[in-house]
Structure 1
Amino acid sequence: MALLGPVTHAQVSCLIGFVSVFIAWIYSEYLVFIKKSISSKVRHSDIGLAEVESLTGKEDDRATLLDGEAIKSIPSGARIPHSFSSFIRFIMLKESFLIENRMLLRAASELGLLLAYFYICDRTDIFGTGTKSYNRDLFAFLLLLLITVSAITTFKIHQDKSPFSVKPLLFLNRHQTEEWKGWMQVIFLMYHYFNAREIYNVGRVCVAAYVWMTGFGNFSYYYARKDFSLSRFAQMMWRLNFLVFMCCIVLDNSYMLYYICPLHTFFSLVVYGIIGVLHKYNEIRAVIVVKFFVSFLVVVLVWEIPGVFDVLWEPFTFLLGYKDPNRKAENLPLMYEWHFRTALDRYIWILGMIYAYYYSSIEKWIEKLDDAKQKPRILIKTTIVVTSATAAYLWFEYIFKLDSITYNKYHPYTSWIPITAYICIRNVTQSSRSYTLTLFGWIGKISLDTYISQFHIWLRSNAPDAQPKKLLIIIPNYPLLNFMFTSIVFMTISYRLAELTNTFKMAFVPNRDNKRIMHNIITAAAIMGILYSLSFLFL
């Protein structure tokens, strides 16, 4: 087996950590097995109560509390943070700790094995490498086949069940947005797999829609819930960045290779800041209007005036700088990719916030429209559909059909047109906004995980920071069978990674416990420092 990239200290650190966790997990499984065996023997024997107590007393002596209590060996009054105490008990292989955290150790071991599979697929020569090829007929066939199967097997009408009535869901409900993300992700993935350059502009609109959802979803949550706690913020950042952080370490990649992650992270941070600043006055309409105006003003200042972006973002080059090794001859600046990606969707997130702010007003208007008499209701809804379809058609004819370079110049100012038209047409009737294809909804829930995983276990880059311009070949000489097999593995692993990310989020980023979150951050930093130091012994 040959490695297709250099071995780094970060990778060795990760390997040391994984081996340690894996051994601890195997030991915990052994302890549970022994404990069950003893319990079974006790239940089926005639020994006395004193003998039973002697068998189980050791476990009782080792029992410790998990939520911040001191270890028994620590002097009374010398309380230490839960995260640090857990680390000490892990290092000492305390049996009670291993048994109590067996499922978490199992999850960590599974994550390590999945990331090892990432490395094997993309950084070794065990599997083959294929060339992407595009055939419009095959591309359309596979896409339409998936839509047809989804419509036949997963079509579902959702209803808002209340104690007094059952009514259709309102517009832009959660089921609908998940489905929206799902079918966009399918197009996005197939575009990458088949290198379907002729739908490049479709991909740009899909990314804009994702960024629109970032503005819409985050504004809706913070404006309605008024929850600006550290725990909520940390959970959001964890979901967006945990998996990509692990991939950057294991695959030795830059953060910007997975540009969707920093893009959503940045716009989520901006929305959090805009709504969080002076949030006590958010109920005053003038305050919100001023915040929207300032947002537009800042975007114009940073992205429209030459030179301002470079000055503002230069200190973050260490994090957001990126250069594709296959494009070294072009001599692009390190921040070129970040500037290009953020500039494309620099306004659409603000539109998402504006739509979210007026959501309740639109919701009330739709309820009145649905209860109106038949003739005016049909007339108004027909007008909405015709107007939206006309706007979408004009955009398609005069903007969308442009070549990719020219289209990108108009995209920041026009991407709102197809997005708004889709929302209007999709939600024009009670039934249309209530049904979804749940297969696409399921894909939408793991869209972030599929986006990251595709780089390494569906496609191949074969080198750190390189774009995935090749295909992963597990079944040589059978491209369609290989596509089917790798797709099944790819989607299964993506689903598991989404579940594991949520598992670790619940374990390490607890709700409304800011003190413990800070302890976990400090402990995590210390552990990473120790592992990194140990890597010098091996490399």
Structure 2
Amino acid sequence: MKEPLTAWTLEGTSLKPDIIVLGAATWSIKLHNGNTEALHQYKTNLTSIARLLEKLAEHIEVIWVLQDPVLEDHLSEDRKMITNQQIDLYNEAALSILSSINSVSKAKVQILRASRLAAEQTISKSLDGLHLPRSTRDISAMVLMNYFCNKILKPIDGSCCLPRPPLTLIQKLTACFFLLSISGYLAVNFICRSNHRENKPATDIESGEEKKPSIAISSVAGLKIPFQSVCKLGLIMAYFYFCDRADIFMKEQKFYTHSSFFIPLIFILVLGFFYNENSKEAKLLNREQTDEWKGWMQLVILIYHISGASAFLPVYMHVRVLVAAYLFQTGYGHFSFFWLKGDFGLYRVCQVLFRLNFLVVVLCLVMDRSYQFYYFVPLVTFWFAVIYGTMAMWPQILQKKASSNGLWNLGLLLKLFVLLSCICLLRYSQGAFENIFSFWPISKLFELQGSVHEWWFRWKLDRFAVFHGMLFAFLYLVLQKCQVFSDGKGEPPFSYRISNLLLFISVVSFLTYSIWASSCKNKTECNTLHPYVSVVQILAFILIRNIPGYARSVYSSFFAWFGKISLELFICQYHIWLAADTKGILVLIPGNPMLNIIISTFIFVCVAHEISQITNELAQIAIPKDGSALLKRLLGGAGFLLVVLLLSAQEDAKL
């Protein structure tokens, strides 16, 4: 072994390996009958080549393989001296010598332990007790190939042995910001406690009035809440980074089976039905009902993602409807707000945009991912801007105007028709669409890996969902104003005959769509028809959920609770529940899949709830109601985003 290693270290040698995988022990044990002197010679010999290995490791990969265990009962007579006790002694000697070299040298000789761990589980299948079955050798080869190849290929799934990506300048600056915020919180907390002890409220002896703390102390105390929120956010972001960017926790692949999707789905749905409560109002799509709708849809999507159910086309198509339903609610909710209240102020817009984008922007900085990577948030943000532009554009048509003159309703329908025409025009002009979203700096919001193709795919897939939601909201609010149907508790919205007919049509439509989705041949065909037919399933569900008066009067508080944090759940799953950017599954507790899912899910839900609270707290601070203060914050935010975009462009140029 020493001769070729020495030859490879000599300068001028043309033929050198790129990788050296080596190990030794069992032949030494056999030839010397396992005596102690052979172990001493082994240590001496390994020490003599350790320096050679160290020198070679400066330029090429050197891996020392630990010796595999044996099945002693199956060994032949001439191999009986190769015991597991002897192998352990030789492995300990190798680890001791190579570790001492690695501790003082920058060049590391890697130790391959994975093959030994695999052998411990499969040695019982060995035919002669010494040589491992082929399946074990394949595992060892796979580990080696992952170790070397993944550095170059950089697979996007949950493959092992991926090197930890280096920190970018933006990530370093973000880490510094959070560390300074934590230091600031500790300082403010210390000052507040000190002042509280030294300046306890006291009564002036002469006037009898209580002395108030100074303005300076009050201003310092006012910083405690924002510092506390940012401090908690920093700790949470550290957890995000350690889960999906560091190499602390393992990841595993997804393997879809029908039971892995449908069993937890049935369990969650049954559990949700046990938490029924009376709703505060019985109108169609009231707040509690929409929260419930968001909640159960989000739980289904989470089960869909962790089980890898996208491989099963019928499930994929039904989940596509759930995404369209989220966008439908976006159109319905924002249209209703603008139509009824007419609040087009900057404060309202900034509040919505902050709540939608805060977590994603922070994750883009911490996890070094583009904004478009979290595709749903850009999608919802874009459509909110479209709804706002449609409703705020002159002439602003509100319910008050439409009530006084019915012609205003036609004006709003004309606006919606123009919006529909623009959607259709963009759909059939992909080149124009890509040109619109490809100029800097707008392109940074819509590009994924330097292309807007993914944004084009996501946009066109549910391009009519928001429009359908706006149109439905308009028709519903107009009919409600005209008192065409009843919103009373326990009452059907129409006469019993019409209600039963609509309910029958809805059930048939619902089942028809499910049959079509189950018989679809491929995703391309299904996705082509999806934008046109998904609204059938959505409207059918709304009618089934609301036509029975008793069903409209109750809601599931279990689902509604999840619905209030549905956005945070959708985003957080990328890194702290799933892993490898949703391609794998995070493993906090190896060797126990059920316990791992329970623990990781509990942490995941708690983190999502906490982030929702932090977002609400920071939204009140970051978006003040005062117009001049809000403009200053917006200018500061725009400057911050511009700096981030410039730094990102600089990083891309280096790559």
The bucket for the TM-score relative to the shorter chain is 0.7 to 0.9
Alignment partner, residue 522 of structure 1: 635
Alignment partner, residue 18 of structure 2: none
Do structure 1's residue 173 and structure 2's residue 173 form an aligned pair? no
Query: Residue 193 of structure 1 contacts residue 459 of structure 1 at CA under 8 Å; is this kept in 2?
Result: yes
Give the distance between the partners of 2:370 and 2:377, measured in 1 at CA.
12
1:403-435: per-residue Cα shift (whole Å, max 9, x none)?
322110100111100001001111012211121
1:272-314: per-residue Cα shift (whole Å, max 9, x none)?
0000001434431121011011011111111123433223222
Partner of 1:518, secondary structure, is helix
113, 122, 139: which one aligns with 2:235: 113
1:441-466: per-residue Cα shift (whole Å, max 9, x none)?
111111110111001100111xxxxx
Change (3 A) 1:425 1:345: same
Partner of 2:437, secondary structure, is helix
Do structure 1's residue 401 and structure 2's residue 496 form an aligned pair? no
Query: Residue 208 of structure 1 contacts residue 345 of structure 1 at CA under 8 Å; is this kept in 2?
Result: yes
Give the distance between the partners of 1:392 and 1:532, measured in 2 at CA.
46
Change (3 A) 1:35 1:111: same
Give the distance between the partners of 1:123 and 1:534, measured in 2 at CA.
20
Partner of 1:487, secondary structure, is helix
367, 370, 377: which one aligns with 1:251: 367
Alignment partner, residue 26 of structure 1: 186
Query: Residue 388 of structure 1 contacts residue 424 of structure 1 at CA under 8 Å; is this kept in 2?
Result: yes
After superposition, the CA RMSD in angstroms is 3.1
Displacement of 1:130 after TM fit? 1.3
Do structure 1's residue 8 and structure 2's residue 126 form an aligned pair? no
Give the distance between the partners of 1:100 and 1:136, measured in 2 at CA.
53
Do structure 1's residue 391 and structure 2's residue 509 form an aligned pair? yes
1:339-373: per-residue Cα shift (whole Å, max 9, x none)?
00000111121111111111224433221899999
- Whichever residue aligns with residue 166 of structure 2, its letter is P
Do structure 1's residue 98 and structure 2's residue 211 form an aligned pair? no
Q: How does 1:13-412 map to 2 (within 5 A)?
A: 13-39=173-199, 60=214, 63-64=215-216, 96-152=218-274, 154-160=275-281, 169-197=282-310, 198=312, 199-282=315-398, 283=402, 284-315=408-439, 316-323=442-449, 334-363=451-480, 364-367=483-486, 377-399=495-517, 401-402=519-520, 403-412=522-531
Query: Residue 251 of structure 2 contacts residue 585 of structure 2 at CA under 8 Å; is this kept in 1?
Result: yes
- Whichever residue aligns with residue 515 of structure 2, its letter is E
- Whichever residue aligns with residue 189 of structure 1, its letter is L
- Whichever residue aligns with residue 33 of structure 1, its letter is R
1:386-414: per-residue Cα shift (whole Å, max 9, x none)?
11112222222234531322110100111
494, 507, 518: which one aligns with 2:621: 507
Give the distance between the partners of 1:138 and 1:405, measured in 2 at CA.
25
Partner of 1:358, secondary structure, is helix
Partner of 2:259, secondary structure, is helix
Query: Residue 170 of structure 2 contacts residue 647 of structure 2 at CA under 8 Å; is this kept in 1?
Result: no
Give the distance between the partners of 1:534 and 1:138, measured in 2 at CA.
43
Change (3 A) 1:308 1:524: closer
- Whichever residue aligns with residue 523 of structure 1, its letter is G
Give the distance between the partners of 1:221 and 1:479, measured in 2 at CA.
45
What number of residue pairs does the alignment pair up? 472
1:234-266: per-residue Cα shift (whole Å, max 9, x none)?
011001111100000000001111100000001
Give the distance between the partners of 1:509 and 1:124, measured in 2 at CA.
34
Displacement of 1:524 after TM fit? 4.3
Displacement of 1:317 after TM fit? 2.6
Alignment partner, residue 587 of structure 2: 473
Alignment partner, residue 488 of structure 1: 602
Partner of 1:159, secondary structure, is coil
Displacement of 1:127 after TM fit? 1.1
Query: Residue 461 of structure 2 contacts residue 531 of structure 2 at CA under 8 Å; is this kept in 1?
Result: yes
Query: Residue 321 of structure 1 contacts residue 334 of structure 1 at CA under 8 Å; is this kept in 2?
Result: yes
Give the distance between the partners of 1:290 and 1:36, measured in 2 at CA.
63
Partner of 1:367, secondary structure, is coil
Query: Residue 16 of structure 1 contacts residue 531 of structure 1 at CA under 8 Å; is this kept in 2?
Result: no
Partner of 2:284, secondary structure, is coil
The two structures have a TM-score, normalised by structure 2, of 0.67
Give the distance between the partners of 1:520 and 1:191, measured in 2 at CA.
40
Give the distance between the partners of 1:117 and 1:503, measured in 2 at CA.
21
Give the distance between the partners of 1:307 and 1:480, measured in 2 at CA.
48
464, 485, 497: which one aligns with 2:611: 497
Partner of 1:475, secondary structure, is coil
Partner of 2:438, secondary structure, is helix
Change (3 A) 1:529 1:31: farther
Identity %: 29
Change (3 A) 1:113 1:241: same
Change (3 A) 1:21 1:179: same
Displacement of 1:379 after TM fit? 1.9
Give the distance between the partners of 2:534 and 2:195, measured in 1 at CA.
61
Displacement of 1:3 after TM fit? 6.9
Give the distance between the partners of 2:646 and 2:445, measured in 1 at CA.
22
Give the distance between the partners of 1:499 and 1:393, measured in 2 at CA.
39
Give the distance between the partners of 1:205 and 1:519, measured in 2 at CA.
41
Query: Residue 185 of structure 1 contacts residue 444 of structure 1 at CA under 8 Å; is this kept in 2?
Result: yes
Change (3 A) 1:372 1:492: closer
Give the distance between the partners of 1:145 and 1:189, measured in 2 at CA.
14
Displacement of 1:527 after TM fit? 6.6
Alignment partner, residue 421 of structure 1: 540
- Whichever residue aligns with residue 354 of structure 1, its letter is L
Displacement of 1:212 after TM fit? 0.7
The two structures have a TM-score, normalised by structure 1, of 0.81
Q: Structure with the greater relative contact order (CA < 8 A, sep ≥ 6): 1 or 2?
A: 1
Displacement of 1:30 after TM fit? 1.0
Displacement of 1:173 after TM fit? 0.7
- Whichever residue aligns with residue 291 of structure 1, its letter is K
567, 570, 584: which one aligns with 1:448: 567
Query: Residue 10 of structure 1 contacts residue 532 of structure 1 at CA under 8 Å; is this kept in 2?
Result: no
Query: Residue 399 of structure 1 contacts residue 410 of structure 1 at CA under 8 Å; is this kept in 2?
Result: no
Displacement of 1:521 after TM fit? 2.5
- Whichever residue aligns with residue 247 of structure 2, its letter is D
Give the distance between the partners of 2:590 and 2:356, measured in 1 at CA.
35
Give the distance between the partners of 1:17 and 1:530, measured in 2 at CA.
15
551, 554, 561: which one aligns with 1:435: 554
Change (3 A) 1:527 1:219: closer
Partner of 1:171, secondary structure, is coil
Give the distance between the partners of 2:487 and 2:430, measured in 1 at CA.
48
Query: Residue 369 of structure 1 contacts residue 377 of structure 1 at CA under 8 Å; is this kept in 2?
Result: no
